[in-house]
Amino acid sequence: MSSYPQVTFSRTTFHGPSVLKNRKETISRTTVKAQLEQLRNTGRYDCFKLQWHPIYDDHSTWPVPKSLFWDSDVGKWIEGACYSLVHEYDAAIDAAVRELVDMIRSAQQPNGYLNVYFTVVEPQARWSNIRDQHELYNAGHLIEGALAHENYYKNGLLLEPIVKYVKLIRSVFGPDAQQRHAYPGHPEIELALLRLYSETKNQDAYDLAQYFIEERGNSTGQNGMLYYDWEEKQRGDTPWKRPNAYPMSHSHWYNQSHTPILQQKTVEGHAVRAMYLYTAVADLLHLDHVGLHTYKQNHEYFNALQTLWNNMVDKKMYLTGGIGAMEQWEGFGQDYFLPQGSDEGGCYSETCASIGVMMLAERLLHLDLDSRYADVMELQLYNTVMTAMSLDGKAFTYVNQLASSNKDKSARETWFECSCCPPNLMRLYGSLGGYLWDFGQENDSAFVNVHLYTTAQVQFEASGEKVELIQESNWPWGGIVSFKLKSTTPVITRLRIPSWSEGNYKVCLSPPLNDTSVTKGYLTLPASYTSQNPSFIIHFGGFEPRFISPHPYTNQNTLTLARGPIIYCVEDADNTWEKNHFKDITISAKARVLEEKRDCIGESFVGLRSTGRVRRLDTWTGRQAGLEPGSSGEVSALADERELVFVPYYLRANRGDEGHMRVGLVRSS
Amino acid sequence: MSSYPQVTFSRTTFHGPSVLKNRKETISRTTVKAQLEQLRNTGRYDCFKLQWHPIYDDHSTWPVPKSLFWDSDVGKWIEGACYSLVHEYDAAIDAAVRELVDMIRSAQQPNGYLNVYFTVVEPQARWSNIRDQHELYNAGHLIEGALAHENYYKNGLLLEPIVKYVKLIRSVFGPDAQQRHAYPGHPEIELALLRLYSETKNQDAYDLAQYFIEERGNSTGQNGMLYYDWEEKQRGDTPWKRPNAYPMSHSHWYNQSHTPILQQKTVEGHAVRAMYLYTAVADLLHLDHVGLHTYKQNHEYFNALQTLWNNMVDKKMYLTGGIGAMEQWEGFGQDYFLPQGSDEGGCYSETCASIGVMMLAERLLHLDLDSRYADVMELQLYNTVMTAMSLDGKAFTYVNQLASSNKDKSARETWFECSCCPPNLMRLYGSLGGYLWDFGQENDSAFVNVHLYTTAQVQFEASGEKVELIQESNWPWGGIVSFKLKSTTPVITRLRIPSWSEGNYKVCLSPPLNDTSVTKGYLTLPASYTSQNPSFIIHFGGFEPRFISPHPYTNQNTLTLARGPIIYCVEDADNTWEKNHFKDITISAKARVLEEKRDCIGESFVGLRSTGRVRRLDTWTGRQAGLEPGSSGEVSALADERELVFVPYYLRANRGDEGHMRVGLVRSS
């Protein structure tokens, strides 16, 4: 049975009300069509007709012409649309997918090549700039689109040309002397190829993915040089010519090719590239794990992923789950460099990067069932990922700063020139059911590992018998989750204990469970038990508001309110007096916090209310610190009290305010 | 009478013991010779012989070949050596200067051209890369060297070829159709030309400096383009080819050419370039002020300088006086972005940049007698500038971080490949007397404006009479300064009130002075008064230890000890238990601080002693902040007490320790 959320999601139904169900429905009913409209309006929809488009005359950007990603936008839309069709049929969506697939088929070249830009605009430049020009990235998204298409339509119309294209790519890249010893500048195709292999046993796909992963960062891979340096030389480019995302010459860490993956100790560079790459590495290990292939370096790569994951989570992740402080390369800064906003040193926290963390966490859970991955997956989902789409499903964020500034207000856009994030949200929410739980056969039993709580049910078969597990809860607002298991075959159930409720949960079972020890954050209910107690309830604490703060080495002396998996912020929609992005609002960890049930655009949530004080900076005006008279050990004086209204970070910028917002407030004593 | 410290310093004698006298003597007796040795060992000494040197075969760097600045190193050494000769004759130094001047003369081309690299290595590339290749910068330092040489030798041997070279440069650059409408990539020649004009009335020099200043940042100056963009095109370079110091294409703010100076509202880019440029602007205004020239845009440029100065001092200056957080472009970051070390986001604080601040402050004092310039000048001198040279005068720092890290320990070098800082220290200390005070004729009186306190005397003539002012003090350790005036002509004396002693000083005079009001930080003793009271004492408070902290918007929740003009640090030479760069040492503003008289390598100073506590970060290990359970409003627990020994920041890295050092300690309550 496939374990990919992109496949398994169809086994899950969101049968009752929840925040997640709302998002899924918004995607299906609004976002898929709104984005189709964007594809049509911008020229992307028709691009596979291979006609000239005025944007192709724009040579103002290098190395990425403005239309370079168009194939991927179409591929991602097809993928998301197919997930949506599974849930809810829509004739217009169906017709658009069919037309797009026809156009894609017609665009394929006799040798199998399939890329709009390098067919229409610069055919002579094919495969000449693997580092920057996204040919393989686009191919990856076409593969993922084809897999989703095949799952829904089962007619081979997209898969067939894509497999032909993969065969061509496999002939171009590889270890043989006449092949290019390259690997994608923007990883993506690796994870797509492994899924293709997993679904179709296409050996080209597996070998190519493995080659890309193992060859990456080989400093003498091509004619004694790093491939990208060799390639640059072939193009006649000087090493001093470089993309804007490369702060210095040869900043190959930008795309994680500075050293082989096994030698990488810290997550560096472009965050989305890193997440897509490491997701593929995890999947390579997983395919070995489930016996689909024998991968010899299992242990080493697993250790590398552990090191990278820990570095990311412990030192380079915002408390909203966001990753990437640096705008220039859309990626990671130094350890503990996590300013809240772009006026304080940087805060990028791209939507796609957090989707990538979810993808990586999901794969890691299959290698190592440990709640630390699922905890982070949930943190991403309810915070950085969820804040990226407006409640109406029509507007998006690309970056997800923790504090606004005059330069970067808290605001949304309907589309972006580089529009990777909106269709990525379609894909993520479309396949969301697949992230809730894993399930399958384990020795003589079925099993369900429950990662995320909500109201949903899953159905699958084990030992030829139907298994159904239903969970119902008011998550993320309340911690009571009731389960009902319907199965004639024994089922082991494992329940994630969120770290923020650690030591603060109880399972309501009668008779009581003997062994309630928790292994790596999961509580196991043995098959013998659940067959006796098909209904059980788990009650999690941790739903009282709590103050959290980032690691002291971040130099962020701030407090943030959290409750369950939800991170809160203040914004001027509620706190209308604020005109300076809450820069001068302080709060004490001793402040009393009140909860209130609220409603926003038809969706209820738990709001919080507390009291802070304004810090007065008058005394600082015009005086260089080293020159101050007297002993000025005082933190700035605190003046007026302010009532503070907090809403979930995911709700920000939905209510037409001026865009003042902040997650972490200055701590006062 | 010239007002340039490079000229007036010779009127000042450091007649009694002081920290400043120690430094000056170390420079004269050790540093000048040590650096001469470096010139000889590296090939710089002989470079004007125009022979091939193996370094010219090194093409690994672009756009700056490793020998590109050699002319300036020689020029700066000659300048510093000539200042030293004024104080103390040394036959070996004298001989070296003479030989170097002979070589420079012999290197001049028939048309007046005078640059080693572009004569020996790439003669065809002359004037082809004004943005990056330092031809004009080198010329500037040769001019400054020639002025110092002429003041001492008065034989025209260096000035004569330099004036010829200036004439050539004047013909190449300017507004005429056949001239290049360019301005130096690294400003320096502007301030040198204005001094040349001031000393010699060379009109070419004035016109060229004015042109360079006014043309800078003209977005349509050359064939409708910014000069540097046009020039790049002429070279056949793509806009995507750029120096490593340019983070993105067209980061022209790097050298302050992104917009005309009058439109610049914030200090940006390379800090040394900015300081040299604005010093020249201030001098252009000053030449107008003293009637040497009529400069029409006086007021506008003065306002621009005010805006830039305020931005720098209020928002981009460390409390040591250091400027420039960003290593990549050796310059300014965003407002309030002032991390203490390179592992916290950056701290560059280049030595030359602080020398540049002193130069700019000194010029501004002539336009606007306001202690805020002199306060910053003194802050630089005793902290960032003084920390840049070891007490033995043989080792230097280039960057002056406020906190060390494993990557960048607190350490010194004897020389640098790009060795701008060591000879700049020679120049600064050599002309230091010129920064202590201004003096001259003012209507019917003489005047002395005293900016810096120490033990020194100045002699000058006013109305044909000799004026002598003597100050004696234990500065920077104690605040009692006694003055003795010897003059037969009336003398107005103005005394700077340091901002840290504000409201906390007294003048001991009998009979008392009637009007003790302070104007812009200066107390005026009228001529009528000083003629009656030629001896007077001023007693400044502010010499008790005080805690200071950077602006809250820096997100640096730290406390630093200061006393008088001295900023203190902790280092492991005294606190030998420290192994983590004092990252986890906290201190409270309520902590008791003790003073102790100490001695380091024969120089006495006031040390400080206090008590801090170690913060414990055990609870943070391996837990992502957003996932913490419970209400974690606590700052990390504080554990063991530590006795902390503080020394002046300028003393750091003199005692062979492991290089752990920090200026700002985490604040505890």
Distance from the Cα of A451 to chain B's closest Cα (Å) equals: 15
DSSP code string of A152-167:
HH-S-TTHHHHHHHHH
What is residue A324's predicted lDDT score, i.e. its pLDDT? 96
Q: What percent of chain B has pLDDT over 70?
A: 96
Please state whether B477 falls in left (phi above 0), alpha (psi between -120 and 50) or beta: alpha
Choose the weakest-confidence range: A632-646, B173-187, B361-375, B400-414: A632-646
Please, which contacts does B164-168 make with residues 24 or more away whose CB atoms are closer than 8 Å?
B164/B108, B164/B112, B165/B108, B165/B112, B165/B113, B165/B114, B165/B139, B166/B139, B166/B193, B166/B196, B166/B202, B166/B204, B166/B205, B166/B208, B167/B112, B167/B204, B168/B111, B168/B112, B168/B113
* B634 contacts on A by Cβ (under 8 Å): 589
Mean predicted lDDT score pLDDT of chain A? 94
Closest-CA residue of chain A to B619:
A551
Tokens of A110: 């006799």
* A544 contacts on B by Cβ (under 8 Å): 631
Question: H/E/C letters for each residue in A238-255?
Answer: CCCECCCCCCCCCCHHHH
Distance from the Cα of A75 to chain B's closest Cα (Å) equals: 30
For the cut 70, the answer to whether the pLDDT of residue B239 exceeds it is yes
Which residues, at least 6 apart from B599, have a Cβ–Cβ distance to it below 8 Å? B605
B507 vs A413, which has greater pLDDT? A413
* A400 contacts on B by Cβ (under 8 Å): none
For the cut 80, the answer to whether the pLDDT of residue A510 exceeds it is no
- Cα separation values, B556 from A552, A555, B280, B341, B410, Å: 11, 6, 34, 11, 20
Give the Cα separation of A339 and A580 in Å (integer).
Answer: 17
Nearest to A629 among B344, B500, B636 (CB): B500
* B317 contacts on A by Cβ (under 8 Å): 624
**Are A499 and B627 in contact (CB < 8 Å)?**
yes
Give the Cα separation of B442 and B425 in Å (integer).
Answer: 32
Q: Which helix (H) or strand (E) holds B222?
A: none
- Check if the beta carbon of residue B93 is closer than 8 Å to that of residue B81: yes
Q: What percent of chain A has pLDDT over 70?
A: 96
Q: Shortest CA distance to A79 belongs to which of A158, A134, A2?
A: A158
Choose the weakest-confidence range: A516-525, B285-294, B624-633: B624-633
pLDDT in tens, A45-85: 999 999 999 999 999 999 999 999 999 999 999 999 999 99
B413 vs B295, which has greater pLDDT? B413
* A546 contacts on B by Cβ (under 8 Å): 628-632
Query: Where residue A581 falls among pLDDT bands split at 50, 70, 90?
Result: very high
- Cα separation values, B465 from A528, B433, B531, Å: 111, 21, 14
Mean predicted confidence (pLDDT) in A12-34: 96
Tokens of B618: 């055990």
Give the Cα separation of A77 and A302 in Å (integer).
Answer: 32
Tokens of B270: 């390379």
* A321 contacts on B by Cβ (under 8 Å): 626
Choose the weakest-confidence range: A22-31, A282-291, B310-319: A282-291
For the cut 70, the answer to whether the pLDDT of residue B636 exceeds it is no
Task: Find where tokens 């050494």 sit.
Answer: B77
Mutate to test the interface with A, among B407, B627, B631, B667 (most CBs of A within 10 A): B627
For the cut 90, the answer to whether the pLDDT of residue B291 exceeds it is no
Distance from the Cα of B495 to chain A's closest Cα (Å) equals: 17
Q: Is A385 exposed, middle or buried (0-12, 13-18, 19+ CB in 10 A)?
A: buried
**Are A339 and B542 in contact (CB < 8 Å)?**
no
Nearest to B375 among A383, A615, A627 (CB): A627
Closest-CA residue of chain A to B505:
A629
Spacing of C-alpha B491 from chain mean position: 31
> Peptide bond preceding B5: is omega within 30 degrees of 0, i.e. cis?
no
Closest-CA residue of chain A to B319:
A626
What is residue B298's predicted lDDT score, i.e. its pLDDT? 72
Strand A638-648 versus strand A558-563 pairing type: unpaired
Which residues, at least 6 apart from A119, have a Cβ–Cβ distance to it below 8 Å? A50, A107, A109, A113
What is residue A332's predicted lDDT score, i.e. its pLDDT? 98
Choose the weakest-confidence range: A17-26, A532-541, B452-461: A532-541
For the cut 60, the answer to whether the pLDDT of residue B629 exceeds it is no
SS3 B18: coil
Question: Which is it for the CA torsion B141, B144, B148, B149, positive or negative?
Answer: positive
Strand partners, B525: B493
Count chain A–chain B contacts defined by CB atoms under 8 A. Answer: 212
What is residue A619's predicted lDDT score, i.e. its pLDDT? 64
Distance from the Cα of B253 to chain A's closest Cα (Å) equals: 15
What is residue B415's predicted lDDT score, i.e. its pLDDT? 78
Mean predicted confidence (pLDDT) in A611-617: 90
Give the Cα separation of B190 and B187 in Å (integer).
Answer: 7
Nearest to B379 among A242, A627, A666 (CB): A627
**Are B667 and A635 in contact (CB < 8 Å)?**
yes
Give the Cα separation of B435 and B622 in Å (integer).
Answer: 54
Distance from the Cα of A62 to chain B's closest Cα (Å) equals: 8
Distance from the Cα of A192 to chain B's closest Cα (Å) equals: 30
Strand B638-648 versus strand B661-662 pairing type: unpaired
* B63 contacts on A by Cβ (under 8 Å): 240
Give the Cα separation of B112 and A187 in Å (integer).
Answer: 57
Query: Where residue B627 falls among pLDDT bands split at 50, 70, 90?
Result: low
- Check if the beta carbon of residue A516 is closer than 8 Å to that of residue A523: yes
pLDDT in tens, A231-255: 999 999 999 999 999 999 999 999 9
Which residues, at least 6 apart from A144, have a Cβ–Cβ distance to it below 8 Å? A6, A75, A76, A79, A192, A195, A427
**Are A344 and B336 in contact (CB < 8 Å)?**
yes
For the cut 60, the answer to whether the pLDDT of residue B653 exceeds it is yes
Q: Is B640 exposed, middle or buried (0-12, 13-18, 19+ CB in 10 A)?
A: exposed
Task: Find where tokens 């008590």 sit.
Answer: B611
Query: Where residue A669 falls among pLDDT bands split at 50, 70, 90?
Result: confident
DSSP code string of A256-311:
T-SS-GGG--S--SBHHHHHHHHHHHHHHHHHHHTTSS--TTHHHHHHHHHHHHHH
- Check if the beta carbon of residue A645 is closer than 8 Å to that of residue A609: yes
- Cα separation values, B209 from B112, B174, B190, B205, B280, Å: 19, 10, 5, 6, 8
pLDDT in tens, B426-436: 999 999 999 99
What is residue A297's predicted lDDT score, i.e. its pLDDT? 59
Nearest to B550 among A240, A552, A625 (CB): A625
Amino acid present at A180: R
pLDDT in tens, B322-341: 999 999 999 999 999 999 99
* A622 contacts on B by Cβ (under 8 Å): 310, 314
Q: Which helix (H) or strand (E) holds A328?
A: none
**Are A629 and B240 in contact (CB < 8 Å)?**
no
Give the Cα separation of B212 and B189 in Å (integer).
Answer: 9
SS3 A439: strand
Query: Where residue B631 falls among pLDDT bands split at 50, 70, 90?
Result: very low
For the cut 80, the answer to whether the pLDDT of residue A228 exceeds it is yes
Mean predicted confidence (pLDDT) in A116-131: 98
Nearest to A632 among B62, B548, B626 (CB): B548
Give the Cα separation of B643 and B596 in Å (integer).
Answer: 14
Distance from the Cα of B501 to chain A's closest Cα (Å) equals: 6
Task: Find where tokens 């179409």 sit.
Answer: A74
* A587 contacts on B by Cβ (under 8 Å): none
**φ, ψ of residue A642 in degrees (nearest 5):** -135, 135
Mutate to test the interface with B, among A240, A373, A553 (most CBs of B within 10 A): A240
pLDDT in tens, B514-566: 888 899 999 999 999 999 999 999 999 889 999 999 999 999 999 999 999 99
**Are A542 and B629 in contact (CB < 8 Å)?**
yes
* A615 contacts on B by Cβ (under 8 Å): 552
Distance from the Cα of A243 to chain B's closest Cα (Å) equals: 7
A621 vs B450, which has greater pLDDT? B450
pLDDT in tens, A542-563: 899 999 999 999 999 999 999 9
**Are A502 and B321 in contact (CB < 8 Å)?**
no
Distance from the Cα of B241 to chain A's closest Cα (Å) equals: 4
Distance from the Cα of A311 to chain B's closest Cα (Å) equals: 9
Closest-CA residue of chain A to B627:
A500
**Are B633 and A550 in contact (CB < 8 Å)?**
no
Give the Cα separation of A390 and B521 in Å (integer).
Answer: 55
Tokens of A296: 């010899």
What is residue A631's predicted lDDT score, i.e. its pLDDT? 46
Mean predicted confidence (pLDDT) in B214-236: 97
